[in-house]
Structures are given as C-alpha cells and as structure tokens.
Structure 1
Amino acid sequence: MLLTILTVLITLLYPLAIWLGKGQVEPRWLACLLLLAAATRLPALRLSGVARWSVGGALLLAGCAVWSNLLLPLKLYPVLVNGALLAGFGYSLGTPLSAVERMARLGGEDFPPAATAYMRRVTQVWCGFFVVNGAIAGATALWASEAVWSLYTGVVSYSLMGALFGVEYLLRLRFKRLHHV
C-alpha cells in the first residue's frame, strides 16, 4: 500500500519536478526521479508484461537522459505511461475479460452479458483516451515549452482523466438503472 502511494505521488509530481528542476538541476540528475518511478514498479514486474515493458522503457529514457544530459527523454515519460496503459487495456480487448471488467471483478461480483459488453466499450474508450493523451503529451514534449508540457502532463491530463472517470461513473449509474444491474 505504501509503495502504491509513493508510485502515485511520484507520477503526479513528476511533471512539476521536471519543470522546477529545469535550469536548476542537470537533466542527468533529474533522471533519478525517473529511476525512482521505475523502482516503485519493480514488485509488479512478476505480475505483468506491461509492467516489464514500462519499467524497461523508463530505464531506457533515464539512461538516455543521463548519457545526453537532455531534458527530452525525461519529458517523454508520460508518453511511455500512456503507451503502457494503452498496451494493457488494448491487449485485454483480445481476451475474454476486458481490463475494466477485470478490475470490476476484483470485488467478487458476477455480471450479466449486457454489463460485460458495457465494460468492454468502456475499455475501448480508455484506449482512445490513452492514444489522444499520449499524442498530446508527446507533442508538448517535442514542440512546447517546459511550462506548457508540465501544465498539460501535470494538470490538464489528470483533469481530463478525472472528467472521464466522472462521466463514466454517471453513465454507469444510468446503465445499472436501465438494466437492473
């Protein structure tokens, strides 16, 4: 639990730390944040191929930042995170249980076919979100200032994610009411 909280805090504060550190700390030293983010995911390596790719990608980006002493590899981390989430959610669409259904079943519930179809659709929506969010994060990393990149990846992106969660929650309540689930 403590490791999960640490992972979330690092992920949330990462864009702000990169923005505040620019010009104050060399990018090769800021790469330590990325190494810390990767280290917090180490326990998940045995559970998920996506986690292995994500940690490997983070280590590659950190290595590039250390070697080049450039900020760009560090700014690409949110693109990597969106790509990893897209891979995990997208892969689940080819399996009997979509990612959203797998998470919903953690509560031990069983769902009717209509709910399964709904959760598969929600998984598809999240895949679309990860594509768009990752593309915007990549564009801001490549062509925008560090302030714009930090604002998007540290505030706007999470706000959009929260809005999507909120809208989906309201639609889920409506779905449950209409289908007596």
Structure 2
Amino acid sequence: MQWLPRIAIGLLSVGYPVAVYLTLQHAGTSAAVWLLVPIGILHGARALRGQRSGWWWLTACVVLTAWSWFQQSVVGVKFYPVVMSLGLLAVFVWSLVFPPTVIERLARLKEPELPPSGVAYTRQVTWLWCGFFLINAVIASATVYAQDWVWTLYNGFISYLLMGLLFLGEWLFRHYYRSQHDD
C-alpha cells in the first residue's frame, strides 16, 4: 500500500492546474488555497511512514498554503508546479552526486545486469532530465504572474506534453542506440 499515496499525489498534481483554474473562475482565491491541503496531507502521510522526501514536500505545501492564505493571493497556489519541478530537479541531481541515478534505478527494473555502457547512458539521460526540470521551473515561474489561462495552459498541458515528448524521444533514441551498440 506504499504506492497508494504516491499515485494519489501524482493524480492530484497532474489535475492540480485545471482544478486551480476552475476554482479561481468559480470560487475565488480563498477556495483555491485549499487545493494544496489534500496534497500536503498525503505528503505528510508519507513523511510519517518514514519517507524523508515526504517532510520536504509537506513543508513546501504548508509554506505555499500559508503564503497564499495570509496574502490572499493566488501566487503561492500557482507556485506549486515550480516547487514540483525544483523538487524533482533536486532528486535527480542528488542521484547524480550519490549514484545510482534515478534513471539507472528505473533501467535496472527491466535489466538488473546493466552493462557499464548502460550505466553511463543512464547518467547522461539523468543530466538531460535535470536540464528539463530546470527549464520547466523557469517557465512555470514566469507563468505565475500571467493570466490564469496562460498558467493553466502551460502547467496543465504544455509542460506535460513536453515531458511526454522528451520521454518518447529518449525511448526512441535508446532503441536506436542499442541497435548500434552490441553490449
């Protein structure tokens, strides 16, 4: 059941921009602030079960919620995708400093005996994802002060589309690369 909070957090995070947009259009800023609460609660549950990253994410949700509530501003609410990108960037960079990398761990699920060339390749892919998360955080932060529909379009659609394209492009390249190298 450890995976259940992660799936719930993932689903809530993916749907978050659209939920924020609809809430802002129909109920206002005060109601939108409360959209961070269920995500924070789920992160808190992970933290209580001993997952260190849960404390970081819980703290981020509490800070963003408090900021938006006390300022009666949607800025904290709109900053969640920025925090998500920076958090994922931190996880990927951490894995570069303290291997195995995130991508290597995922690769070893399918291929436990990953050759040295595979380890080197997964390290390069991890760098690529680091670049993506950094650029995504910059763009997401630029949309925080934009109109609500612009913020929602980028954070609720375009960023996921770009992520999917990067994933697909890397998958296609990996298969081409493996066909050219026989290890």
1:130 equivalent among 123, 130, 133: 133
Match of 1:27?
A: 29
Supply the distance in 2 between the matched residues of 1:56 and 1:74 (Cα, whole angstroms).
Answer: 14
Find runs of 4+ consecutive structure 1 residues off by over 6 angstroms.
Answer: none
Cα deviation, residue 23, structure 1: 4.3
1:29–1:66: 8 Å Cα contact kept in structure 2?
A: no
Tell whether 2:123 aligns with 1:95.
no
Specify the alignment match of 1:70 in structure 2: 73
2:42 to 17, 40, 53: 40
In structure 1, C-alpha distance between the alignment counterparts of 2:179 and 2:58, rounded to whole Å: 41
Letter in 2 for 1:148: V
Between the two proteins, the alignment pairs up a number of residues equal to 179
Aligned to 1:84: 87
Map 1:1-181 → 2, pairs under 5 A: 1-45=3-47, 46-49=50-53, 51-107=54-110, 109-142=112-145, 144-181=146-183
Q: Which moved more, 1:12-21 or 1:148-157?
A: 12-21
User: Is the contact made by 2:85 and 2:136 (CA closer than 8 Å) also made in structure 1?
Assistant: yes
- Residue 8 of structure 1 deviates from its aligned partner by 2.1
Distance 1:89 1:169 in 2: 18
Counterpart Cα distance in 2 of 1:140 and 1:80: 13
Counterpart AA for 1:173: H
Residues 41 and 68 of structure 1: is their aligned pair in 2 closer, same or farther, counting only changes over 3 Å? Answer: same
The alpha-carbon deviation at position 59 of structure 1 amounts to 1.1
SS in 1 for 2:113: coil
The gaps in structure 2 that reach 5 residues or longer are none
Give 5+ residue unaligned stretches, structure 1: none
Taking only aligned residues, the RMSD between alpha carbons, in angstroms, comes to 1.7
- Percent of aligned pairs with the same amino acid: 34
Task: Give the deviation of 1:108 after TM superposition.
Answer: 6.1
Q: Give 1:63 deviation, angstroms.
A: 1.1
8 A contact 2:34–2:65 mirrored in 1: yes
For residues 10-35 of structure 1, give each alpha carbon's deviation from its aligned partner in whole angstroms, at most 9, with x where no partner exists.
Answer: 11111111111114323232222111
Kept in 2, the 8 Å contact 1:58–1:80? The answer is no
Q: For residues 161 and 153 of structure 1, what CA distance do their matches in structure 2 show? A: 11
Bigger mean CA deviation after superposition, 7-16 or 39-48:
39-48
Deviation readout 1:81-122 (Å, 9 max, x if unpaired): 000000000111112311111222234612111100100000
